[in-house]
Chain A
């Protein structure tokens, strides 16, 4: 087990290094780094001072190691626009994104599992077919388009829900959250639903496939033969067994929900890190862009690492296979 752990950890570190080289070379070396890193409103003396301070007169390798050692100490650059460390700004915006992602996951499970169960139990009924058709649409429609339609219907025409912003927030342990105020909930619902649609389709498909498979198992037949009520058979015996893959996949998808939040946050003007990224690209605030990319990549590598380790803990075959390889 230790061998696998160390091997996997080293792989992750290598991937992180590769990604840092790509982002570094991309942002700092392609194009003129002086234009990118120094405030364009600075005069010549300030520019030269900044070039020396940032070490832009040194070789590429030296610059990279400076960047890397800065990153390891939590220094990912300084925003031009906000005049604060990039990391601080991102961490301030992170709770909004995490709240949106959690809301989306919650909706995906809340709607996806019952819908998938119905589609799996009655695959040939109209409702079952309709749910499957809906899940195909959920897969193929672009997220931003669905977001626009939600705004058009629920915010503009029906006027039921607000179209942008976070609404009233309350502080929980110093972190502002929306979901505890009625106004915040009404602001959260549409973006969370928008972000949830793709995952919801995934959950529906997984649940449906799982249900159809589990229904044929002997223990389900036995539970029915024992005379258990249908709701107990489905609620306990079927549901428990299909939840395992669904939960695993959803854990893996958490990272991609945060990546896709870029789109939803832009559509609904949700003040999270995704909107920050798009605003920063538009404002040419490169340090924020670099910091966002490095943090997201880091998060992805971390999620993949945790999932892999959990897998090898749960499944001895993975462990043995990797130790031999």
Chain B
């Protein structure tokens, strides 16, 4: 059986006569069935690429004040500036919007991904513990989860931000605190089902240690639903961070995310300078929609009930 790495974008049709497809091959071909999801994936990868290589592809370093020219402030898209063409216009400081947006995307994606990853580890850990040990551990953890999920995410985030103040790490903490409960609930539900299966009983009979059973046997089987929830939650985290930054209680002005760029342009929107808010908003929208498209398809592909 061949197990070479597959390029997800150019996967060939699996030949029917040859060896049965590996799970990975089947996963890739199932995923590619939806053109819309494929489009979302390509778009999302392109956005990530743009964010990662921001210093090399932006025409201007938007936070190097030497490169800014205040005389170029609030120019509409496609205007010729002093040194360059501003394809998406400039903001009130004469900053190239295209460069500003790519750097903002970088901040937004980093905060979203970091908070999701940390929340996934914490929430997943608690969920596994709750399912594996049961009893009062389970009750305690799930009571906290229920309590938290009975409040809307934005309220919890506002409480935490009001208490902690602004800052990148504080926003990440707030986003983690908002999200961990979803993972805990997801993992617990999956792990409870898995725990009663024979292979866990077999592992217990072999007198393997608790950590070994949890991490080597139980955890790998709880991953698929976690991936689905995780993908959708990245979009939620990015959207929530943008909302908080827009409200002025999120990231500080030194780390402008897309939400903060939109907030900056909001004051000028009423006077008709739409581009300062509109383009960062458009990029935010594309990011969220592309992640959701991928997440939706992942849910369909990874759902065992829908498997052929």
A positions within 8 Å CB-CB of B: 15, 18, 22-23, 26-27, 30-31, 136-137, 140-145, 148-149, 151-152, 155-156, 163, 255-256, 259-260, 262-263, 266-267, 277-278, 281-282, 289, 293, 296-297, 300, 304
Contacts and interface: CB of A to CB of B under 8 A. Distances in A.
Contact of A152 (B154, B161, B163, B269): B269
Given A142-B243, A297-B151, A277 B158 contact: yes
Contact of A300 (B150, B262, B269, B278): B150
Interface in B159-206: 159-165
Given A26-B164, A293-B158, 7 more contacts: A26-B159, A148-B269, A155-B270, A255-B152, A256-B152, A262-B154, A278-B249
Contacts of A22: 159
B77 interface: no
A297 B148 CA distance: 11
Contacts of B164: 26, 30
Contacts of B243: 142-144, 263
Contacts of A141: 285, 288
Q: Is the interface of B mostly helix, strand, loop or mixed?
A: helix
Nearest to B280: A145
B274 interface: yes
Contact of A296 (B155, B248, B259, B288): B155
B239 interface: yes
Nearest to B162: A289
A23 B158 CA distance: 11
B274 A152 contact: yes
Contacts of A163: 270
Interface residues of B, number: 37
B292 interface: yes
A262 B247 contact: yes
Contacts of A18: 147
B242 interface: yes
Contacts of B292: 136, 140
A152 B285 CA distance: 16
Contacts of A260: 152, 154
Contacts of B87: none
Contact of A23 (B151, B159, B235, B270): B159
A219 to B, nearest CB: 29
B248 A148 contact: no
B246 interface: yes
14 contacts: A18-B147, A26-B159, A27-B162, A140-B235, A140-B288, A141-B285, A148-B269, A152-B278, A259-B151, A259-B152, A266-B246, A267-B266, A278-B248, A281-B162
Contacts of A297: 151, 155
Contacts of A142: 239, 242-243, 284, 288
Interface of B: 147, 150-152, 154-155, 158-165, 235, 239, 242-243, 246-249, 259, 262, 266, 269-270, 272, 274, 277-278, 281, 284-285, 288-289, 292
A308 B165 CA distance: 35
A289 B164 CA distance: 13
Contacts of B160: 26
Contacts of B262: 144-145, 148
Contact of A140 (B159, B247, B281, B289): B289
Contacts of A289: 162
B247 A263 contact: yes
A266 B247 contact: yes
Contact of B154 (A23, A259, A282): A259
Contacts of A15: 147
Nearest to B160: A26
Top 5 A-B pairs, shortest CB-CB distance:
A26-B163, A256-B152, A259-B155, A142-B239, A259-B152
B152 A282 contact: no
A200 to B, nearest CB: 17
The listed residue with most A CB atoms (<10 A of its CB), out of B154, B163, B269, B289, is: B163
Contacts of A144: 242-243, 246-247, 259, 262
Nearest to A142: B239
The listed residue with most A CB atoms (<10 A of its CB), out of B151, B165, B274, is: B151
A187 to B, nearest CB: 15
Contacts of B235: 140
A278 B245 CA distance: 11
A148 B281 contact: yes
Contacts of A266: 246-247
B248 A282 contact: yes
Given A140-B292, A256-B152, A148 B266 contact: yes
Contacts of B277: 148, 152
